[in-house]
Structure 1
Amino acid sequence: MSRSRSRAWAELLRLPALFTVPGDALSGAAAVGARPNSRTLLAIGSSLCLYEAGMALNDWADRAEDAAERPHRPLPSGRVHPAAAFTAACALTGAGLALAARAGRPALTVAAPLAATVWAYDLALKHTPCGPVAMATARALDLVLGAAATTGRTRAALPSAALLGTHTLAVTVVSRQETKGGSPLAPLAALTTTALLSRLLAHRPTGLPSDRPSGAGPGDADGVATATSRRSVMSGSLPAIAEPAAAGRERPEPAHARRITPPRSADSAWSPGRALTTALAATYAATAARPYFHATLNPSPPLTQRAVGGGIRATIPLQAALSARSGAGLTALLIAGLAPLGRRFGRKVSVT
């Protein structure tokens, strides 16, 4: 394949946007309190295929509109044949479903409606009022796919999926006027949504430990006490309650046995996990808010396109913040590391 042909396909598939995809499955796994495993990798592969299928199908469906508004795109410029784009969309969809099936029945149960949503958006819903909702649903399902593939459970991932879907909804609404410009209401609404999501990210979900022990799930807070009691019984020693004190006499607790427990609010406010979540939420807000603000002041096509690009790039710190909020700090840092790669490749190929 020649260099010019390779670049045409890179533009068609919007390759820099691929760096926003792995974080869906990874944050989905974090939301259900699981470490990424081989099935998570299969979910990531499935997501990448379905995402690229949507990109190819999008340009195939919009080839007539792009001929008038964006003639430089690969299909209207003749650099990629429409039949080749449609064939790629079909092949990538099949590959995405096959990878989901390898990850297990729960993953396929989520991937099938995800693929259907992608095709419905590109072929029927994109230019209707349901378009942004369909796109938001697809992104939310992609996060749930990671949870389903990793553990088979999805309920705990729904709040994170809702936050990611809300962000996607705002970006999609702005993107509907990126070629012609329009009202400042869409970027203003997206700016408000970004501020709201940033605030929600800063609040840890109720009942989630601030620092999850290695190998412990969200519900294992009592595991240490249980294990200590079990070890005392197995070693032949009795718990303290089995040794009654003399009648009328109290035994003071030894100084070395006393535990000073700080207030819970202070612990959660200064924990490393909370600090990481706050930093990533601030990064998300900074990435999306500035281009949204500029598009609000001047909703011209160039500034609107920058706002859409900023919203897409902000997906990565949002995914990282969701993972940190779920207690998966290492996963959050891994996702955040994809942002510089996305920016680097985004200088060569547009993400919109």
Structure 2
Amino acid sequence: MTPSFADLAELVRLPAVISVPGDSLAGAAAAGWPAGARTAFAPAAAACFYLAGMALNDYSDRELDAVERPERPLPSGRITPRYALALAGGLTGAGLLLATGLGRRGFGVAVAVAAAAWSYDLLAKPTPVGPLVMGAARGLDVMLGACGHRAALPAAFATGAHTVAVTALARGEVNGSDPVTGWSAVATTASVATATVVGTLVGERRAHWRDAVATAGLAALYGVTVGRAQAAAATSPDAGTVLDATRRGIKGLLPLQAAQLAAAATPLAGLALVGLAPVMQRLARRIATT
């Protein structure tokens, strides 16, 4: 039996994919749009890799989910493990095919993104290095838009650090976390927000004052919305509070990406990303993002 669209959307956490395109757009902007119009292939490919990773995540966790989250598509029997694995493979192939439009360097980064995603779900997730591998995958998403150009490395490191913190805290979604993990996430968020603003004020690529102001405002929005939820999880690290902080961490990628775009002299694109946050929130009320 073919799964319904609703079941597939739940499997791949469809609302959360809204948080993905901004990564590669921020990287492209930081590197001066090296792929030109072909940059459009980057967010499309990254979205495919993300959706593949979500399907593969549930395939890998199907036995654990049967105990902790039996309502999910695989343990509930609405989608078979074989179908989830085939979907993950097909989406990964689609992402790589799209990435060929970015040229050899871009395709090479795409291969690295796919490898990081599969490594995380099949090998690294339950290990201490799991959050680092997930952070590498999101950081490589940024480099995908930049076709590997070094100018995008600060944005990639910022996105990767944010993802490491969110992923480490997310491990407590079912059984709770601990204050150290929560406060570490708060410190990471504050550092990422600060570094994003400082980057517009120093160095050879200092931003125009209008872009710097926009960057500061968007970075503050990111820092406050994400950091406040993480502080709540640090103070009371029960499963419900940690789950809320994780969801806000995913949604918080939008203002972070917007700040990075503003820092690269494309503030209007950043504001457009922030405008997607209500759409993501509305969809998340029907379909889980974690």
Aligning the two structures, in what range does the TM-score lie when normalised by the shorter sequence?
A: over 0.9
1:290-305 paired onto structure 2 within 5 Å:
290-305=228-243
> 1:255 aligns to what?
none
The counterpart of 1:165, out of the listed 160, 163, 168, is 160
Verify the 8 A CA contact 2:171 2:177 in the aligned structure 1: no
CA distance in 1, matches of 2:101, 2:210: 36
Whether 2:35 is the aligned partner of 1:40: answer no
> 2:124 aligns to what?
125
CA distance in 1, matches of 2:35, 2:263: 16
> 1:273 aligns to what?
211
Amino acid at match of 1:99: L
> 1:95 aligns to what?
94
Amino acid at match of 1:275: V
Verify the 8 A CA contact 1:75 1:81 in the aligned structure 2: yes
Deviation at 1:334, TM superposition (A): 2.5
Amino acid at match of 2:176: G
Verify the 8 A CA contact 1:32 1:156 in the aligned structure 2: yes
SS in 1 for 2:77: coil
Runs (4 or more) in structure 1 with deviation over 4 Å come to none
Verify the 8 A CA contact 1:29 1:35 in the aligned structure 2: yes
Q: Which runs of 5+ in 2 are unaligned?
A: none
Deviations 1:293-338 (A, max 9, x none): 1111111111111111011111111111111112222222222222
Verify the 8 A CA contact 1:198 1:284 in the aligned structure 2: yes
Verify the 8 A CA contact 1:26 1:36 in the aligned structure 2: no
> 2:245 aligns to what?
307
Deviations 1:280-300 (A, max 9, x none): 011101220121111111111
Deviation at 1:35, TM superposition (A): 8.2
Amino acid at match of 1:40: T
Quick one: percent identity of the two aligned structures? 43
CA distance in 1, matches of 2:230, 2:118: 28
Amino acid at match of 1:350: A
CA distance in 2, matches of 1:182, 1:20: 24
Verify the 8 A CA contact 2:165 2:184 in the aligned structure 1: yes
Verify the 8 A CA contact 1:287 1:313 in the aligned structure 2: no
Verify the 8 A CA contact 2:124 2:133 in the aligned structure 1: yes
> 1:343 aligns to what?
281
1:129-208 paired onto structure 2 within 5 Å:
129-148=128-147, 154-203=149-198, 204=200, 205-208=202-205
Deviation at 1:103, TM superposition (A): 2.2
Deviations 1:192-237 (A, max 9, x none): 11112122122114122433xxxxxxxxxxxxxxxxxxxxxxxxxx
Deviations 1:84-121 (A, max 9, x none): 11110000010000100122111111011111111111
Name the structure with the higher helix share.
2
Deviation at 1:128, TM superposition (A): 0.5
Q: TM-score, normalised on structure 1? A: 0.79
Considering Cα pairs closer than 8 Å and 6+ residues apart, tell me whether 1 or 2 has the greater RCO: 1
CA distance in 1, matches of 2:78, 2:36: 39
> 1:268 aligns to what?
none
CA distance in 2, matches of 1:288, 1:110: 28
Whether 2:210 is the aligned partner of 1:210: answer no
SS in 2 for 1:80: coil
Paired residues, number: 288
Cα 1:35–1:104 shift into 2, 3 Å:
closer
SS in 2 for 1:78: coil
Amino acid at match of 2:46: S
Deviation at 1:167, TM superposition (A): 0.4
Amino acid at match of 1:344: R
Task: Compare 330-339 and 34-43 and name the one that shifted more.
Answer: 34-43
> 1:253 aligns to what?
none
Verify the 8 A CA contact 2:31 2:151 in the aligned structure 1: yes
Deviations 1:141-163 (A, max 9, x none): 01000011xxxx51101111001
Computing the radius of gyration over CA atoms, which structure comes out larger, 1 or 2? 1
Amino acid at match of 2:7: A
CA distance in 2, matches of 1:122, 1:16: 20
